[in-house]
Amino acid sequence: MVSTRPPSGLRDFFGSEAQLRHELMTTIARVYQSFGFLPLETPAFENLDVLMGSGGGAENEKLIFKILKRGDKLKSALESSPTEQSIADFGLRFDMTVPLSRVVAEYRGQIQLPFKAFHMGPVWRAERAQKGRFREFIQCDVDIVGAKSSRAETDVIQAVCEVLRVLHVEGFELRLNDRRLLSAIGSSLGLNPDEFESFAILLDKRDKMEPQDLLDEMKALLGARMNDLVARLLKDEVNLESLKSLAPDVVEEVSGLLTTLQSLTLPLSGVYFDASLVRGLGYYTGSVFELRHSSAGYSFGGGGRYDGLIGRFSKEAIPAVGFSIGFERLFLLYKEQKQASLMTQREGLCVTVMDEAYRGQLLSLSSQWRAQNLAVSVYPDMAKLKNQLKWASDQGYRWVVIAGSQEFEQNKIQLKDLSSGQEILVSPESLKDHLVS
């Protein structure tokens, strides 16, 4: 018999957990829309050459799930010493930013700038599956294309923070840096491009390495160029002011953005400058930011300015900034918070059918109740009342409708509260008024 487990690193969701995921997705989309972002929908897979060489996405490019060519093309590829390159033509997207950039380039004539879009859905990475790391996971991106100034950063950050406010999740902080400051530090140290990359990758590992190991590796990399600034960088002791001499304009811009963000009473425990924040080396050209939570050592999302990416697909260089919420991690937090209420109760009511002669009437009443915005599940088979009540209880329903000839003769129904066991006889029209806590 065929194995029914999903492929390694992939997951199935059903029941109350799936319901909660659906709610969270809906909430995020609603908040993004409330900021005037419109949806963007792109295919699950792209031509491989769109995904490859997207510039520094090198890490992700290794993780592309590739799709086999089909028909004659596959046949001829298999006949002449096939390679990984010759037998595949498409790849599943590994993020939302590359497809967005392709879309802006392709439909440039139909898109008015600034273009505000949100882009939510699964992405796929062929990583070795491990605890908390999946091969299919959802990202919830919000982007502004065609805005040069940090007003765009403010807009996407405010939108993401509004999601946190609406969810009542607390304890998040935002860390902020600018790629141009990192470059200025690199220049001041006299690093060549390769050395700069190693320098940035090492900085990016700051949270994952022992301080002494980090210091040793940095010394090995920089040799005589190791200085006090780098030492303080490794200890998160570099404030924005101290970089003023290296890049005065950038410092002023970052400072302005920080001031704006701090004035907005965002639902965060803090907004901080972090001179050692790196994030995806390939894309970002200006601001970079990251959402962290006091309870976890990892990021819940991040983003920044990628003024160079669209230019890879188009003759026109168009500035862009985006913020991506890592749905899976936020979901874990949201689920934890909701768990108590989740397990005990389900919204709406369950309608039992003890006499099939009255199913038609119960179906009609159910339609009327749904028109009052109640979720109504009619038991969808024939079964003993006892079994129907057990099902309703197992599903988490508190309210159950029971009605047969005795009730219908009086134009009434029984409303049973499974939490107390109490039953009351009510008119169908007044049912909603009785669903009290």
Q: What is the 3-state secondary structure (H, E, C) of 292-351?
A: EECCEEEEEEEEEECCCCHHHCCCCCCCEEEEEEEHHHHHHHHHHHHHHHHHHCEEEEEE
Q: Does residue 58 bind a second copy (CB under 8 A)? A: no
CB-nearer residue toward a second copy: 10 or 246:
10
- Residues 270 and 363: their CA atoms lie apart, in Å, by 53
Residue 154 C-beta: closest distance to a second copy, Å: 7
Restricted to residues 168-227, the positions that interact with a second copy (CB under 8 A) are none
Both structure tokens of 88: 């595949």
CB-nearer residue toward a second copy: 150 or 276:
150
Q: For residue 206, how many other CB atoms are within 10 A of its CB?
A: 17
Residue 396 C-beta: closest distance to a second copy, Å: 10
- Residues 288 and 281: their CA atoms lie apart, in Å, by 10
- Buried b / exposed e over 162-183, threshold 16 CB at 10 Å, is bbbeebebeebebbbbbbbbbb
Q: Does residue 45 bind a second copy (CB under 8 A)? A: yes
CB-nearer residue toward a second copy: 238 or 254:
254
Among 56, 111, 229, 355, binds a second copy (CB under 8 A): 111
CB-nearer residue toward a second copy: 142 or 234:
142
Q: Which of 1, 9, 101 is nearest to 51 (CA)?
A: 101
User: Which range, of 59-67, 185-193, 327-335, 407-415, touches a second copy by CB under 8 A?
Assistant: 59-67
Residue 200 C-beta: closest distance to a second copy, Å: 26
- Buried b / exposed e over 101-132, threshold 16 CB at 10 Å, is bbbbbeebeebeebbbbbbbbbbbbeeeeeee
CB-nearer residue toward a second copy: 90 or 284:
90
Draw the binding track, 279-318, toward a second copy (x: CB under 8 A; -: no contact): ---------------------------------xxxx---
- Residues 373 and 380: their CA atoms lie apart, in Å, by 20
Contact of 40 with 102, CB cutoff 8 Å: no
Q: Which of 222, 135, 147, 131 is nearest to 185 (CA)?
A: 222
Draw the binding track, 129-168, toward a second copy (x: CB under 8 A; -: no contact): -------x-------x-xxxx-xx-xx--x---x------
CB-nearer residue toward a second copy: 268 or 275:
268
Restricted to residues 370-389, the positions that interact with a second copy (CB under 8 A) are 370, 373-382
Restricted to residues 321-360, the positions that interact with a second copy (CB under 8 A) are 348, 350, 353, 359-360
Among 192, 212, 367, 420, binds a second copy (CB under 8 A): 367
Q: Does residue 106 bind a second copy (CB under 8 A)? A: yes
- Residues 117 and 322: their CA atoms lie apart, in Å, by 9
Among 391, 403, 407, 415, binds a second copy (CB under 8 A): 391
